[in-house]
Amino acid sequence: MCGIFACHHHPDVAAFKPKALQLAKLIRHRGPDWSGNFVKNNSIIAHERLAIVGLDSGAQPLTNEDESIALGVNGEVYNHVVIRHQICNNYKYKTASDCEVIIPLYEKFDIDCPNYLDGMFAFVLYDAKKDRMIAARDPIGVTSLYMGRSSSSPGTTYYASEMKSLAEVCDEIITFPPGHVYDSKTDKLTRYFKPSWWDNTRIPTTPIDYSAIRTTLETAVRKRLMSEVPYGVLLSGGLDSSLIASIAARETAKAQAMDAATAQDSLTGVDEFGNLSGGATSWPRLHSFAIGLPGAPDLIAARKVADFIGTVHHEHTFTLQEGLDALSDVIYHLETYDVTTIRASTPMYLLSRKIKAMGVKMVLSGEGSDEIFGGYLYFGAAPSKEAFHEETISRVKNLHLSDCLRANKSTCAWGLEARVPFLDKSFLELVLNIDPAEKMITKDRIEKYILRKAFDTTDEPDVEPYLPEEILWRQKEQFSDGVGYSWIDCLKDSAEKFVSDEDFAAPKAQWGDDVPTTKEAYWYRCMFDELFPTKTCADTVMRWIPKSDWGCAEDPSGRAVKSHVAAL
């Protein structure tokens, strides 16, 4: 990941440049490898780079031949080779960066250019000849982006990878909507991402195809191994991260089985699906990373998976006090006061620091599966397949405000990039068009049954199992539960100490209708307000809302759901 700060139509951009660079510096943690900026007319793009692909020549902002177009990108474009050689093969490329293809795509397709990208991204592009700035965000919002305005300069627009870079200069900030493109020429946000599943009232009827689920997810993992730096996998021991780790281990082993010359050609070339299949790394085996309190369920399960799939496994533990000490920093990086997100992000934040210290810059993660497959335990109370489907689509559409936000910002806090194969466009198109009756949790079907079944090789004697059976069929654990149940208990107990009954009964007037419903939520809101004191900042936050009519408890812990079984 990288960090972007940009401004268009500033009344005095030369005088503003020092301030712009200071605001970009606030997100240097996202891109500690290099800083760059581009200034022309009344606009500026500042960029903080994390180098993953095109290490030697991909410094940003990127520009076209006459430097009339400048581009700042945060993310990865997995199909850039196809774009270079098939769609925009007449363009004079300056670098090996996967992101440079956005410039010729813009020249050829204007604001429709994001439709041609397969990846996770947020970008700002300035066309000096037209004095025009466009910005776009990937379809699901894996990569973060904010947009702001200031009443003191109504014609100016600001953009940044994190809200903190806009807080000082903007009195209106929005979370840039995923799958949208903004055009300064029209001053409009337009949704470019229009998949067949977007309308949640259209209930799909496509029958299940287990083979397609398996092959499409394998392809999604393969393309995300595009890297010129050491990479790894986050491994909680749950179904989702374990499957991603298993597939990644197989793909890495295939690459390492080749001789050096063949491996280099294959890994940096185009595979049969038109994507880069990966990049050479300095490690002969895949590394996996897990975190938890000593003896945590996730650590035990992750160790079983790592032994089974053959990764070099790294197990990190943290103490309750270390978790508590990190809370303020976690909230600073997350820019939220949502209870669920903070609980789960704290261990991920601590683990990311350990991973980066080992020289790793990219990891694969398992976010998105629970939303796509209806894997949260409360889905077991869905009254109908129609309601089940509508809830899955709603959750997918809001991932940028919850799990994607957590995965992106917890890792980027330490200059680590997280990639999420479950949110691949092709995988979403396949799975979200399956008849939701196939996904429902019943007496005979555990949550995410069809995903588990797709990777169950019991009836395939010639295929090596992907996972141990007890992991493949392990019940869902919230990540914040799996790292150790005492973590959530500690947070609740600490909130009781920090928030008095009198304070809790008298919420602050500036909170309006957004009133914390637990002392833990109250505590986090107070920490957020200390870091980001304006209502403008708070307005960018969305709290997780329980599905109470399905028996989903206010407390998001999986233990609050009746069907939860505290067993591995």
Q: Is residue 565 part of a domain?
A: no
Q: Tell me what pLDDT residue 280 has.
A: 42
Q: Tell me what pLDDT residue 254 has.
A: 83
Q: Pick 152 or 297 by higher pLDDT.
A: 152
pLDDT tier, 321 (very low <50, low <70, confident <90, very high otherwise)? very high
The answer to whether the peptide bond before residue 284 is cis (omega within 30 degrees of 0) is: no
| Count of the separate structural domains present in the chain | 2
| Lowest pLDDT segment from 124-133, 419-428, 480-489 | 480-489
Q: Quick one: 171 and 218 in the same domain?
A: no
Average per-residue pLDDT for the chain: 91
Number of neighbours of residue 437 by Cβ within 10 angstroms: 17
Q: Quick one: 215 and 176 in the same domain?
A: no
Q: Is residue 277 part of a domain?
A: yes
Active-site residue, 526 included: no
Q: Quick one: 152 and 247 in the same domain?
A: no
Number of neighbours of residue 51 by Cβ within 10 angstroms: 19
Q: Tell me what pLDDT residue 453 has.
A: 98
Q: Tell me what pLDDT residue 53 has.
A: 77
pLDDT tier, 543 (very low <50, low <70, confident <90, very high otherwise)? confident
Task: Tell me: pLDDT of 479 over 60.
Answer: no
Question: Any idea what the CATH number is for the domain that residue 117 is in?
Answer: 3.60.20.10
Q: Quick one: 178 and 247 in the same domain?
A: no
Q: Where a domain ends, among 461, 477, 493?
A: 477
Q: Quick one: 289 and 396 in the same domain?
A: yes
Residue-wise pLDDT for 69-107, tens only, equals 999 999 999 999 999 999 999 999 999 999 999 999 999
Q: Quick one: 144 and 215 in the same domain?
A: no
Task: Tell me: pLDDT of 498 over 60.
Answer: yes
Residue of 362, 221, 217, 365 lying closest to 291 (CA atoms): 365
Tell me the residue range of the domain where 359 lies: 210-477
Q: Quick one: 369 and 447 in the same domain?
A: yes
Q: Tell me what pLDDT residue 420 has.
A: 98
Q: What is the DSSP letter of 472?
A: H
Q: Is residue 334 part of a domain?
A: yes
Q: How far is CA 245 from the centre of its chain?
A: 17
Q: Quick one: what percent of the chain has pLDDT higher than 70?
A: 90
| Count helices and strands in the chain by DSSP H and E runs | 20, 17
Tell me which of 2, 113, 412, 552 is the catalytic residue: 2
Q: Where a domain ends, among 477, 498, 526?
A: 477
Task: Tell me: pLDDT of 58 over 90.
Answer: no
Q: Where a domain ends, among 477, 492, 527?
A: 477
Q: Quick one: 227 and 140 in the same domain?
A: no
